[in-house]
Structure 1
C-alpha cells in the first residue's frame, strides 16, 4: 500500500512538473508573440508616419515653389488682381480648416493602412494651410504697400496742381501791376482800353484765386489721408518661411518620436537592429577577405602581366646618345665581381665619395672632408638612397684605399668601372661610393617612363643613369654578379641593381601561379635582352624578400615609394 502511494505521488509530481513546464513555455511563447506583434505593428506604424512626413515634405516644397512664382508674378499687377487672389486664398483656407479631423497622431495608433492614409492627408492639409497662410499675409502687406503708393502719387499730383494754380495767380498779379504802372490814369478811366484790360485781369484773378484755394484745400485733405501710409514700404519678393513650413509637420514628427520610443523599449528591436546592421557588412568583409586578394592577384597574373610581356621593352640609350661602350666582364665562366673587401687606387686628380662605415683603411696623406650630398642636383635621391654625409677623399699621389662592409658580415663589395661613353642604369640603394674626376661634375641623370606598362607594374617610373668615366662601389648581400644579357636573361626584381643602357629592359610573368598567390614569389621578374648589354645583381637580396610578413607594411610602403623614384 505504501509503495502504491509512493508511485502515485511520483506520478502526480512528474506530471505536475510537466504541467508547470508547459505553462511556462506557453506563457513565454505568448510573451514572445506579443512582443513580436508589438514590434511589427510599431515598425509598420513608424514607417507609415515617416512615409507621410516625406510625402508631405515633398508636397510642401512643390506648393512653396508654385506659391513663390505665383505671388511674385502679382508684384507688377493691379490692386484688383491682388485683391481677387487674396479672396481666393481666404476661401481655400476656410475650406481646408473646415475639413479638419480629430488628430490621429496619438497612441495607440490605428491599423497601418488607415494610419497611412489619414496621416498623409492630415500632413498634406497642414502643409497646404501653412503655405496659403504665408501667401495671405504677404498679399495683405502687398495691398497695404500699393495703397500707400497710390496715396502718395495722388498727393504729389495735387501738390503740382496747387503750385501751378498759385503760379498762374502770381502771373496775373504781375500783369495788373505792370498795366497800372504803364497807364495809371487810363486804367481807372471807364471806357478806355487800359480800363477794359484791367477789368479782365481782375476777373481772371478772382477766378485764379478760387482755383488756387480749391487746389490748396484738396492738397491738405489728401495729405491728411496719406499721413498714415507714408511709412509703408513695398515688401521684399515673396519667399516661403521654411522653418514655419517645417513646423507644420511637428505633429507627425512627434508621433514618429513616440513610436520610436515605444520600439526602443521592445527587446526584439534592441537586438534585431544591431545584428541586421552589421550582418551584411560582416558577411561582405569575410567574403572580400577570402576572394578579393585572390581576384586581384588573378587579374594581375592572367591579364596585366601577359599584356606587359607583349609590349615593347624599355630602352634608355636612344635619348642619352652614348657610343655603346659596355662594361668589362669577368673572365669566361665567372660572373662574381664582389669580395669582402676591395682595394682601389685613388690617383691624383680623382676624388672618392664613400660611406664612412665602408672606408676600412686609407693613407694618412689623403685629404678627407665631408660632402653632405652625392649630387646637389638630386637632393631627394641622395637623401633617400642614404648617400648623405659622405667622406670625400683626394690625394696628391696615387693612394691605395681599402673598402669593406665592416658592419655586416653578409655584405660584399664590388667595383664597377664605367669607361668613357658608357652608361649604367643603377638603383642608388646599392651604391656605397664612387670615384670620379675632381674637375668634372658627376654625370648623373634621371629618366621617367610614365607611358610604359612595364614601369607601372614594377612601380619603377624613374630610372637613374650614371655615365662614365666613373667607378661605382656597389654592395650586395652574399655577393654581386655581372652578366651579359645575350639572348635574354630573367632574374628576380628584388635582386636587380642595374643594367647598361643598351639593354632592352622588360618584365615577364613568374612561371607558376600558386607560389605567387601564396606570396612566395613576386608577380614579375626582370628580363634583359641585348647582345653586348650587361646587368648587375646581388645574389641574396634582402630588399623585398618578405612580401607576406605581417608587421613590415610600413617598410614595404616606403620601399614602394622609393622604387617609384628609381631609388
Structure 2
C-alpha cells in the first residue's frame, strides 16, 4: 500500500505539471488570438524599378544608336516588308500546286462528263506514227522515246526548233525560218514556232531529235497523210517534215460555246 501510495503521489505530481503546461499553452493561444490580423501583402516595386532603370536606359540608348546606324536604316524597311514578302513567296510557291489540284479534282471530272468534241464528223479520228526507216511508212501508234531518229530524203525538208536539234549532216543545206507562217504571225509567236531551223538534205540523211533542256521529254513522229488534218496543242509541236514546195497548211477554226 505504501508503494502504491508513493506511485499515486508521483502520478498526481506529473498530472499537475501537465495541467500547468496545458494552461500555459492555452494562455499563449488566447494571447495570439487577441493579436490584430495582418493586412494583405503588398510588394514595393520602387526599389526593383530603381535597380533596373540603368539597364533600361542603356538598352534604349543602344536601340537609338542601332536605329541611327546604316544597319538599322537597312533593317527597318526589311522588317516592315518581310512578312508581306514571305506571304507572297509562299503564295507563288503553292499557287502552281493549287492550280493543278483544282484542274485535276474539279475541272477534269467536269470535262470528262462532257460530250466529246467532233472536229470532222465524217472522219474516223484514227492516226498513225511513222515507224519506217525511210520516214514514209506508217503503222499503229508506237511508244514515244527520248531520242527520235528521223530519215530525210532529197525531196523533204525539216523545220525544227534549234534546242531540239542534236546534230545535222555537213552536206545538208540549212537556214533560219523566222516564222512558221507569215500569214499568222501572232499564232506563230504564241505557239513558240519562230526562229526555226530549216534543213534540206541533198541525199538520204538521218537526223536525231532530242531535248537539250528537259531530260524527261519524249518525242513521237505523227504521220499526217495528204488531205488529212491534225489538231494539237502548239506547245507539243517541236518541228515537222514536209515536202519541198508543199508547205504545211495552217487554218483557223473558231469554236464558241
Return the TM-score normalized by structure 2: 0.52
In the other structure, the counterpart of 1:3 is 32
> Equivalent of 2:116, from 274, 299, 313?
313
1:372–1:388 contact (8 Å) kept in structure 2: yes
**Closer/same/farther in 2, CA of residues 437 and 340 from structure 1, 3 Å limit:** same
Cα separation, 2, equivalents of 1:409 and 1:399: 25
2:129–2:223 contact (8 Å) kept in structure 1: no
Equivalenced residues, count:
159
Please state whether the residue corresponding to 1:445 is helix, strand or coil. coil
Please state whether the residue corresponding to 1:314 is helix, strand or coil. coil
In the other structure, the counterpart of 1:189 is none
**Closer/same/farther in 2, CA of residues 342 and 324 from structure 1, 3 Å limit:** same
Segments of 5+ residues of structure 1 without an aligned counterpart are 18-296, 452-567
5 Å matches for 1:148-547?
A: 305=110, 309=113, 312-318=115-121, 326-328=126-128, 335-451=141-257
Q: Select the structure with the greater relative contact order (CA < 8 A; seq sep ≥ 6).
A: 2
1:221-265 superposed Cα distances (whole Å, 9 cap, x missing partner): xxxxxxxxxxxxxxxxxxxxxxxxxxxxxxxxxxxxxxxxxxxxx
**Closer/same/farther in 2, CA of residues 415 and 312 from structure 1, 3 Å limit:** closer
Higher helix fraction: Structure 1 or Structure 2? 1
2:160–2:240 contact (8 Å) kept in structure 1: yes
5 Å matches for 1:30-45?
A: none
1:43-82 superposed Cα distances (whole Å, 9 cap, x missing partner): xxxxxxxxxxxxxxxxxxxxxxxxxxxxxxxxxxxxxxxx
Larger radius of gyration: 1
Cα separation, 1, equivalents of 2:222 and 2:129: 10
What is the CA RMSD across the aligned residues, in angstroms?
Answer: 3.6
Return the TM-score normalized by structure 1: 0.25
1:368–1:393 contact (8 Å) kept in structure 2: yes
2:159–2:197 contact (8 Å) kept in structure 1: yes
User: How far apart are 1:329 and its partner, in Å?
Assistant: 6.0
1:397-454 superposed Cα distances (whole Å, 9 cap, x missing partner): 2221111223322112211111112211111111111111221232112322212xxx
In the other structure, the counterpart of 2:46 is none
Cα separation, 1, equivalents of 2:249 and 2:126: 16
Cα separation, 1, equivalents of 2:201 and 2:32: 120
